[in-house]
Amino acid sequence: MMMTKQLTDTPIEEKIEAIQEGDIVLQNEILQTYKPFIAKSVSEVCKRYIDPKKDDEFSIGLMAFNDAIFSFEPDKGSSFLSFAKLVVKRKVIDYIRYHQKRPNLLSLDEINEEEQMENPLIIAAAKEKHQIEAENAKRREEIILFQEKLNAYRLTMEELTQASPKHKDARESAVQVAYALYQDSQLSAYVQRKKKLPIKKLLMKVEVSKKTLERNRKFIIAIFIVLSSEYAYLKDYLKDYLKDVKE
């Protein structure tokens, strides 16, 4: 561990750099020193007094401030405290929306507009990072829900990986079969009810052999599950395969 530097009169940006290089003692010191700053930032979001010892929102703000320490990039053109305040507010807003179901909470754009106007580059960077984090979280949620649906069909992600057609043409053909299945209300209802493919009826609807249907059964069911559910990100992966089918 590095020795803590004597940085009493040193700009905070240099202290942050020292922490990023491994100064744990200085990190703890900064977190303690800036608790009032964190509480004030959280209070601006919650519109009430924040008690650091009692309010969960303060804990979220403290963790966000710590995240800001390690994600701060001085060459982006903003001071650390401006960046940290934005990160803290963003995290607290997300926390409140998720846990208290307050969709009408002020957006980040509506909070402290003057502050944001002072640092347009860092604001843009922070918003972009937030958007990426939000999308990744939604993807993870979709995958978890998809795995649960697979389990209902007695399938697993491991099985699906092994059962996926290796050749592009075979994958395209299987996706087309799944789409035809999804488009037919009777066959679709059968799959959802029986959790299996109606092989005989499918053979009358698609130009694929029985052997191919049986070989690609797991993959076809998985694609059918995606098409039948509100999986925006998983469906996005299929758009190139489905483009020719829909046209």
Provide the pLDDT for residue 133: 67
**Residue spans of alpha helices (H) in 9-112:** 12-20, 24-33, 35-46, 56-71, 80-100
Cα radius of gyration rounded to whole Å, the chain:
26
Q: Whole-angstrom Cα distance, residue 228 to residue 234?
A: 11
Q: Whole-angstrom Cα distance, residue 186 to residue 207?
A: 19
Q: Which two tokens stand for residue 175?
A: 């996706």
- φ, ψ (nearest 5 deg) of residue 155: -125, 155
Is residue 2 predicted with pLDDT exceeding 70?
no
Provide the pLDDT for residue 53: 86
Q: Which two tokens stand for residue 150?
A: 């697979």
Per the model's pLDDT, the better-predicted residue between 8 and 21 turns out to be 21
pTM metric for this prediction: 0.48
Q: pLDDT digit string (tens) for 33-74?
A: 999 999 999 998 888 999 988 888 898 899 999 988 988 887
Flag the least confident range among 53-57, 146-150, 234-238: 234-238
Q: Whole-angstrom Cα distance, residue 64 to residue 108?
A: 15
**Residue spans of alpha helices (H) in the chain:** 12-20, 24-33, 35-46, 56-71, 80-100, 113-118, 120-152, 157-163, 168-183, 185-194, 199-203, 210-215, 217-227, 232-246
Q: pLDDT digit string (tens) for 202-229?
A: 888 888 899 999 999 999 998 898 888 8
- Percentage of the chain lying above the pLDDT 90 cut: 18
Provide the pLDDT for residue 90: 86
Provide the pLDDT for residue 49: 92
Provide the pLDDT for residue 161: 80
CA proximity to 216, closest of 233, 199, 194: 199
CA proximity to 147, closest of 137, 139, 157, 138: 157
Per the model's pLDDT, the better-predicted residue between 44 and 10 turns out to be 44
